[in-house]
């Protein structure tokens, strides 16, 4: 696995967003099957694209959630919900992303997204303020 400055930047961001389980544990437990993918995710995704200054990590988290809902990638939605919260996206903003997704992705995609958000909020003890 190529470990350079972009890799270390990516690892640091993954730690901030997903904790050690989503960063170090993922990287250190790679196999010959998964090592290149973890390198790509760490270096290229989080060490390069997520580091670009034109969008902050909070905005990137919101965009990522919306795209994952659109794609129906519930497993990744779960992961990125926690990352979004770590990046300062509020539970109310997450609700709005899911509601907005219903318009462009369809009700079933939004239902899956909001159900997943509810599970993550419950698991992590995240309180939801405004229920309007």
Question: Exposed/middle/buried for 100, CB within 10 Å: 0-12, 13-18, 19+?
Answer: middle
Question: Residue 132 has what pLDDT?
Answer: 45
Q: Are 80 and 116 in contact (CB under 8 A)?
A: no
Delimiting residues of CATH 1.20.1290.10 domain(s) in the chain: 57-124
Residue 91 has pLDDT above 70, yes or no: yes
Alpha helices in the chain (DSSP H): 5-22, 24-28, 35-39, 57-71, 74-86, 91-105, 107-124
CATH 1.20.1290.10 is the classification of domain 57-124? yes
Q: How confident is the model at residue 96 (pLDDT cuts 50, 70, 90)?
A: very high
In tens, the pLDDT along 2-22 reads 788 999 999 999 999 999 888
Cα 75 from Cα 41, distance rounded (Å): 16
Q: What is the mean pLDDT of residues 83-98?
A: 97
Q: What is the mean pLDDT of residues 81-107?
A: 96
In tens, the pLDDT along 63-82 reads 999 999 999 999 999 999 99
Q: How confident is the model at residue 1 (pLDDT cuts 50, 70, 90)?
A: low
């Amino acid at each position: 696995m190529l470990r350079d400055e972009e890799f270390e930047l990516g690892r640091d961001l993954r730690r901030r967003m997903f904790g050690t389980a989503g960063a170090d544990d993922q990287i250190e437990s790679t196999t010959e099957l998964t090592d290149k993918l973890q390198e790509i995710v760490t270096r290229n995704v989080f060490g390069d694209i997520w580091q670009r200054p034109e969008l902050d990590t909070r905005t990137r988290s919101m965009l990522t959630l919306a795209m994952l809902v659109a794609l129906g990638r519930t497993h990744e939605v779960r992961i990125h919900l926690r990352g979004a919260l770590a990046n300062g996206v509020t539970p109310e903003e997450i609700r709005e992303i899911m509601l907005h997704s219903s318009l462009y992705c369809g009700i079933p995609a939004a239902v899956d997204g909001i159900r997943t958000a509810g599970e993550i909020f419950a698991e992590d003890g995240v309180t939801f303020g405004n229920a309007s």
